[in-house]
Amino acid sequence: MKMKLAVLFALAVACVAYGPKVHAQAATSSRPSAQAQSGIDQSIQLLRKDIRSTRKQLVAANLKLTDDQATKFWPVYEQYSAEAAKIGDQKTALIKEYAEQWGTMTDEQAMSLAKRSLAVEEQVSQLRTKYVPIFSKVVPGKVVATFFQLDRRFQALMDIQLASQIPLVQSQD
């Protein structure tokens, strides 16, 4: 039950705070003013901070750790989260670029965005693969597997929410 509430909260935050900004940018063909862009950037930054906090709470609520395991797990989790945030920066930049190009996007720009988006997805997979043995050194295998289940579920829900808020490329024509 706790997990469902945390996920619903995260989705609500994403829907309210993030989705309208992409649609608002996509709805206009002109670039936003520097002041508007600064406000959008701040909103995105705050949302991402909230999402990271919610994700950590979700992991804490659903991962059964002894005190000794928790002492070892959380520093590794923080490292993992920091690296994941850097990848998230790339994803955010791609979404902003998409919104800026909306309405005037060429085939070449669309292909570039598609290729770079796939590369970002690959980086997420590589990060998870990199951290499996690192987490395995500090907690048992079932804990590692459960953590990555939670991580993938949360990311999948966020990806679905974002995807539902971003208009399709061909709808700009």
Tens digits of residue pLDDT in 45-79: 667 677 778 889 989 999 999 999 999 999 999 99
Query: Binning pLDDT at 50, 70 and 90, where does residue 14 land?
Result: very low
User: What residues does each domain of the chain span?
Assistant: 2-172
Neighbour-count burial for 41-67, b at 16+ CB within 10 Å, e otherwise = eeebeebbeebeebbeebbeeebebee
Query: Binning pLDDT at 50, 70 and 90, where does residue 165 land?
Result: confident
pLDDT value at 144 more than 90:
yes
Phi, psi of 167 (to 5 degrees): -65, 150
Q: Which pLDDT does position 39 carry in this prediction?
A: 63
Q: Which pLDDT does position 3 carry in this prediction?
A: 40
